[in-house]
Structure 1
Amino acid sequence: MTYFKQILRFAIPYRTYGILNIICNIFYAIFSTLSFIALIPVLKVLFSSEKDVEYYEPVWNGISNAKAYLTDTLNCFIVETVESEGKMYVLSYMIIGIITIFMLKNLFNYLAMFFITFLRNGVLKDIRNELYDKTVSLPLSFFSEKRKGDTMARISSDVLEIQHSFLSILELIVREPLTILFTLGAMLFLSTKLTLFVFIFIPVSGFIISLIGKSLKKHSDKVQKEQGIFLSIVEETLGGLKVIKGFNAEKAFSNKFKASTNRFFDYSNTLLNRQNLASPTSEFLGICVISVLLLYGGRLVFIDESLQAEMFLAYIGLAYNILTPAKAISKANYGVKKGNAAAERVLEILNTESPLQDKSDAIVKNDFTTNISLQNISFKYEDEYVLKDFNLTVPKGSSVALVGQSGSGKSTIANLVTRFYDVNEGEITIDGIEIKDLKKESLRGLMGLVTQDSILFNDTIQNNLLIGSENATEEEIIEALKIANAWEFVKELPKGIHTNIGDSGNKLSGGQKQRISIARAVLKNPPIMILDEATSALDTESERLVQSALENMMKNRTSIVIAHRLSTIQNSDVIVVMQKGRIVEQGTHETLLSKNGAYQKLVTMQSFE
């Protein structure tokens, strides 16, 4: 129930629908009970002659005598009306009454479901929205070891499981217990002795069903985790189809996927078979009790003559009326266990506190005036330090290039300056203000980012660029494309900037995608630009166009350039050579060449590539 309470907060905005649902369920439970009670006078009219009906004037002697008073009132009404109007007249009105009761019962049943629909779907919507917002807000480190498919499964199927299981309880909490309560009240009114058997049935049934469902949460958790695994395989397959086909790995990936779906098959069978056992078990137990009631009730009718036949028939109907809500409650018990597993996975993300939270007094900074300073910073992703006692100052308006072998910590600098990760030691400041004291949105608003992998979205060129500046005009978009050397090919596309570029921009070449990424950064027009190996994945011709675009973009801006190809950074104000998280050399291109050190070695190696 701990998880249920946490999920319940999402229902608070829709409490009006919940209250209306409760009211409708109360009326449904009342009319559900009355629908069987209403059969008593009909049966009395159908199977009794006037002389068979004991006829006493009703006398009210207090609540303890209510049954006798109501029985006498009914008998009096039947005898007098039959004498004056005839049996068919009385029967017709009683049938109209029964139809009215059943109509009201089903009307309130529909209204209860109508109102709960808004609550269930509203909670589903709000959980998904909060889960998505939380997913976007959590740091990159949270997802470094998680499968994308697992996160997708939590947002889709796990949330849906919460809706089906937990939120059905909101309805069952009122509807089914009240139906049982009112029905038991009517049964006690008709026969106290017979009702004792029903009181024995409910706890016995509940105990047996609870024994069946104890392991449901464990099996449900396995099903949901496996669903995340095969969604991840699908996502990886779609993203790597070229490699899979190029290496003839279709069979290997097919076997991997089939192994996952086979496990899902086994887990699902175990889970559903146990779940499906609830309904027949509760119904069988109910029929067993009704059989005992028939034997004992028959004795009361035929031998003791302490119970009238029509009342006994209505009583049996009421006893059977308990089975449906009892089955629903037993299913709900299973639902809670399945919902617990789903809620645990969803709440794992929702309850995760981001280590990169803004401080309560975080500063909003809209300009950049002096420099970026990295002072004695040390950082590790896991156990081993990637950067150790690293110091670097980037003055406003200058271009600083970071070069070095793979793994030397170049891209880590970009991740730390943009505060995708926090440093373990030391501090990073902008204009003397530590970036931890700035609002993340404000910090990143000062920066434009162009990465090695051109991250584009399945949308038009215009909408991809508007991520940089959502209120930009078409003229500003076209100007940004011109600066990025992208307008020449964009204007030739069928719909120009309104052309959809496909999943990850795959309708474009690598160089075209990179120039669109640069145009997006240009449109944002930030004072600080971070280029993380923006040309390393391009051919020579594309590199030349992209490099020209980068030079256009970096004019009058502060730039941190992470480069693999040294030809792209020869004009930088300062080149920083890194090895194993430390600076080994820094200076201009000419200065570093004259030292004949690590930079010279890198240049020589690349000249033979």
Structure 2
Amino acid sequence: MNYFKQILRFAKPYKGYAILNIISNIFYALFGTLAMVSLFPMLNVLFDKTKRLETKPVWEGITGVKNYAEDYLNYFVTQKASEGHDDVLIFMVILVISMFLLKNVFSYLAMYFITFLRNGVLKDMRNELYYKIIDLPISYYSEKKKGDTIARISSDVQEIQHSFLSILELIVREPLMILFTVIMMLLISVKLTIFVFIFIPVSGFIISLIGKSLKRKSDSVQQEQGQFLSIVEETLGGLKVIKGFNSQTAFGEKFRASTTRFYNFSNKLLNRQNLASPTSEFLGITVIAVLLWYGGRMVLNDKALDPGLFIVYMGLAYNILTPAKAISKASYSVKKGNAAAERVLEIINTVSPLEDQPNAITKTDFTDAVALHNISFKYEDDLVLKNFSIHVPKGKSVALVGQSGSGKSTIANLVTRFYDVNEGSISIDGEDIRNLTKHSLRALMGLVTQDSILFNDTVKNNILLGKLNASDEDVIEALKIANAWEFVKELPLGIETNIGDSGNKLSGGQKQRLSIARAVLKNPPIMILDEATSALDTESERLVQVALENMMKNRTSIVIAHRLSTIQNADLIVVMNKGEIAEQGTHNELLAKNGVYKKLVDMQSFE
């Protein structure tokens, strides 16, 4: 129930619908009970068992409600009978139909109002989960499979709607139906009702035994669903490699193994779940059968119960079975929904280690310098950076070079605060970036990565991520600075052309120039370029390099470079080796030192 309480907080904005649902359910339960009771006078008229009453009965208080209701009905029937049997029958038929009609009208209204609550909770839960997914740090997803996260926001949330939220329909309606029915049963025969309630706990105990393993089985199903969605996501992402290495069979086997496990888990779960309905119905009919025997003796042997009342009583007893069965199925749903809720709430309740401090500063300008002071950092066990320090004054460009694994890209991750340093500090204008809001920090920065991350949208909308309210003219100007307008204007719809999934309708150089245009449009005071040209051919590199030089004019830049030809004009070049500074200086100074940098330049000159 702990998970259920957490899910219920999403229902608060829709409490108006919940109240209307409860009111409708009260009337549904009331008219559902009266519909059964209304059969009694009909039976009495048919069997001519109606007691003739010529005088109107007198109300003697709540304790005599049963006798008053019965006498008043008999008085009414007596009056109608004097006008002819047809009138009595027509009235009784209308009474029965009216009760059942009202029961079903309120049943529909209850379902109508709960629909808005259920779908509203589903919408808000998905929204909160999505915002949490994009708020959590990148490090959170280093161990997680994308497919598993997709399964949580899609099928797990849907499962919560089907399981937990279906209880909201039952939480008032079915207990009220049982309550009203039991009150009527007690009014008809206390002795018979006590006999019925000896058997109900026994039935409940047997039903509860079936559902104990449902949560565990449901958890296995949902985890396996996340597994095969991950395989699909990886397959679509690496289709060229799979085809190029003729690995279709291997991946097919991997996917088949996952779907086979899903098939087996689902069979076990659904077969256990399907057992609920026939078991509860069989136990209910057993109770009815015993009731027929015991009640029949009261009617035939003891003459303690009117036959018409006994038939109505049997109808009421069966009337309990439907809500009881619904409640037993709901208990299975709770167990099944628990597994889904646990997986969804695991993400929602995760506290981000990069949360803004309560008194975080919103920084809107950049006036002095970016400084990394004695920082050390590790992703897992081994330090990637050790006591690393650099100073990047405003308007200057600092290039970081070195072998792969020397910690260059880690600097970009730390300055943008995708991760926090383990030791030391990073400051902007003397203020530790951990004291700034993440939003204002990243608003000061533009990022161009080695992998051009573009979205399945138009050229324009991809560029507008840099500045959402920019005009078409601003977008075109940014494309010109990034050397991208030449090819964009040739596209079928210009800036309104869709570039496909991950921008795959474009070449590598074209994609990278769009990434640069996005950063240009943002126009941030600090630019971080993480190996922006390393994946390009020579011609594309030249075009992109010109674009980068255009962008970096009069701007503070941290450039992470693999190709040394792209950073020769940097104000400072920092050569890194195993997370430490090997040497630093300008291009000419470093060549004169004849050290690590000179070796890197010589190696690349032979490439």
Q: TM-score range by the shorter chain?
A: over 0.9
Determine the structure 1 residue equivalent to 2:66: 67
RMSD (CA atoms): 1.3
Equivalent residue in structure 1 for 2:475, among 474, 477, 489? 477
Equivalent residue in structure 2 for 1:533, among 520, 523, 531? 531
Structure 1: gaps of 5 or more residues: none
Aligned partner of residue 214 in structure 1, secondary structure: helix
Aligned partner of residue 476 in structure 1, secondary structure: helix
Task: Give yes or no for contact 1:461–1:500 (8 Å, CA) kept in 2.
Answer: yes
Partners of 1:511 and 1:202 in 2: CA distance: 74
Determine the structure 2 residue equivalent to 1:154: 152
Equivalent residue in structure 2 for 1:505, among 495, 503, 509? 503
The reply on whether 1:426 has 2:424 as its aligned counterpart is: yes
In the TM superposition, residue 59 of structure 1 has moved relative to its aligned partner by: 5.4
Task: Give yes or no for contact 2:52–2:78 (8 Å, CA) kept in 1.
Answer: no
Residues 260-275 of structure 1 aligned to structure 2 (within 5 Å): 260-275=258-273
Determine the structure 2 residue equivalent to 1:392: 390
Equivalent residue in structure 2 for 1:108, among 106, 118, 131? 106
In the TM superposition, residue 357 of structure 1 has moved relative to its aligned partner by: 1.1
In the TM superposition, residue 289 of structure 1 has moved relative to its aligned partner by: 0.6
Partners of 2:316 and 2:234 in 1: CA distance: 57
Q: How does the TM-score come out when normalised to structure 2?
A: 0.98
Partners of 1:32 and 1:521 in 2: CA distance: 66
In the TM superposition, residue 372 of structure 1 has moved relative to its aligned partner by: 0.6
Partners of 2:239 and 2:53 in 1: CA distance: 87
Residues 336-351 of structure 1 aligned to structure 2 (within 5 Å): 336-351=334-349
Equivalent residue in structure 2 for 1:566, among 564, 577, 582? 564
Partners of 2:188 and 2:85 in 1: CA distance: 25
Determine the structure 2 residue equivalent to 1:170: 168
Determine the structure 1 residue equivalent to 2:359: 361
Aligned partner of residue 331 in structure 1, secondary structure: helix
In the TM superposition, residue 557 of structure 1 has moved relative to its aligned partner by: 0.5
Per-residue deviation, residues 432-456 of structure 1 (Å, max 9, x unmatched)? 1110111111110110000000000
Letter in 2 for 1:325: P
Determine the structure 1 residue equivalent to 2:437: 439
Partners of 1:606 and 1:274 in 2: CA distance: 66
Determine the structure 2 residue equivalent to 1:35: 35
Per-residue deviation, residues 488-518 of structure 1 (Å, max 9, x unmatched)? 0000000000000010000101100000000
Partners of 2:269 and 2:480 in 1: CA distance: 59
Aligned length: 606
Percent identical pairs in the alignment equals: 74
Aligned partner of residue 99 in structure 2, secondary structure: helix
Partners of 2:28 and 2:337 in 1: CA distance: 27
Partners of 2:377 and 2:488 in 1: CA distance: 41
Equivalent residue in structure 2 for 1:212, among 210, 213, 238? 210
Residues 293-312 of structure 1 aligned to structure 2 (within 5 Å): 293-312=291-310
In the TM superposition, residue 71 of structure 1 has moved relative to its aligned partner by: 2.5
Residues 70-469 of structure 1 aligned to structure 2 (within 5 Å): 70-82=69-81, 84-469=82-467
Task: Give yes or no for contact 2:397–2:570 (8 Å, CA) kept in 1.
Answer: yes
Task: Give yes or no for contact 2:54–2:78 (8 Å, CA) kept in 1.
Answer: no
In the TM superposition, residue 74 of structure 1 has moved relative to its aligned partner by: 2.4
Structure 2: gaps of 5 or more residues: none
Partners of 1:8 and 1:209 in 2: CA distance: 26
Aligned partner of residue 452 in structure 1, secondary structure: coil
Per-residue deviation, residues 312-333 of structure 1 (Å, max 9, x unmatched)? 1111111111111011101110
In the TM superposition, residue 63 of structure 1 has moved relative to its aligned partner by: 4.0
Per-residue deviation, residues 100-155 of structure 1 (Å, max 9, x unmatched)? 11111111001100100010010100000011011111101111110001111111
Residues 553 and 376 (structure 1 numbering): CA distance in 2 closer, same or farther, change over 3 Å?
Answer: same
Residues 297 and 454 (structure 1 numbering): CA distance in 2 closer, same or farther, change over 3 Å?
Answer: same
Partners of 1:515 and 1:177 in 2: CA distance: 65
Letter in 1 for 2:84: G
Q: How does the TM-score come out when normalised to structure 1?
A: 0.98
Task: Give yes or no for contact 1:17–1:115 (8 Å, CA) kept in 2.
Answer: yes
Q: Which moved further from structure 2: 296-305 or 373-382?
A: 296-305
Q: Which moved further from structure 2: 185-194 or 138-147?
A: 185-194
Task: Give yes or no for contact 1:485–1:515 (8 Å, CA) kept in 2.
Answer: yes
Aligned partner of residue 263 in structure 1, secondary structure: helix
Determine the structure 2 residue equivalent to 1:22: 22
Determine the structure 2 residue equivalent to 1:47: 47
In the TM superposition, residue 61 of structure 1 has moved relative to its aligned partner by: 5.0
In the TM superposition, residue 198 of structure 1 has moved relative to its aligned partner by: 2.3
In the TM superposition, residue 420 of structure 1 has moved relative to its aligned partner by: 0.4
Task: Give yes or no for contact 1:197–1:289 (8 Å, CA) kept in 2.
Answer: no
Task: Give yes or no for contact 2:571–2:586 (8 Å, CA) kept in 1.
Answer: yes
Task: Give yes or no for contact 1:201–1:286 (8 Å, CA) kept in 2.
Answer: no
Task: Give yes or no for contact 2:373–2:388 (8 Å, CA) kept in 1.
Answer: yes
Partners of 1:282 and 1:196 in 2: CA distance: 20
Q: Which moved further from structure 2: 488-497 or 208-217?
A: 208-217
Task: Give yes or no for contact 2:462–2:518 (8 Å, CA) kept in 1.
Answer: yes
Partners of 1:391 and 1:253 in 2: CA distance: 46
Task: Give yes or no for contact 1:30–1:179 (8 Å, CA) kept in 2.
Answer: yes
In the TM superposition, residue 69 of structure 1 has moved relative to its aligned partner by: 3.3
In the TM superposition, residue 56 of structure 1 has moved relative to its aligned partner by: 8.1
Per-residue deviation, residues 566-586 of structure 1 (Å, max 9, x unmatched)? 111111111111111000011
In the TM superposition, residue 166 of structure 1 has moved relative to its aligned partner by: 1.0
Aligned partner of residue 163 in structure 2, secondary structure: helix
Per-residue deviation, residues 584-603 of structure 1 (Å, max 9, x unmatched)? 01111111111111111111
In the TM superposition, residue 62 of structure 1 has moved relative to its aligned partner by: 4.7
Letter in 2 for 1:447: M
Letter in 2 for 1:350: I
**Moved runs in structure 1, 4+ residues, more than 3 A?**
53-66
Determine the structure 2 residue equivalent to 1:518: 516
Partners of 1:585 and 1:62 in 2: CA distance: 100
Aligned partner of residue 421 in structure 2, secondary structure: coil
Task: Give yes or no for contact 1:194–1:297 (8 Å, CA) kept in 2.
Answer: yes
Partners of 1:149 and 1:59 in 2: CA distance: 72
Aligned partner of residue 174 in structure 1, secondary structure: helix
Per-residue deviation, residues 353-411 of structure 1 (Å, max 9, x unmatched)? 11111112211111111111000100011111110100111111111111111111000
Task: Give yes or no for contact 2:54–2:79 (8 Å, CA) kept in 1.
Answer: no
Partners of 1:183 and 1:303 in 2: CA distance: 26
Partners of 1:351 and 1:292 in 2: CA distance: 50
Partners of 1:564 and 1:62 in 2: CA distance: 94
Aligned partner of residue 526 in structure 1, secondary structure: coil
Partners of 2:155 and 2:284 in 1: CA distance: 34
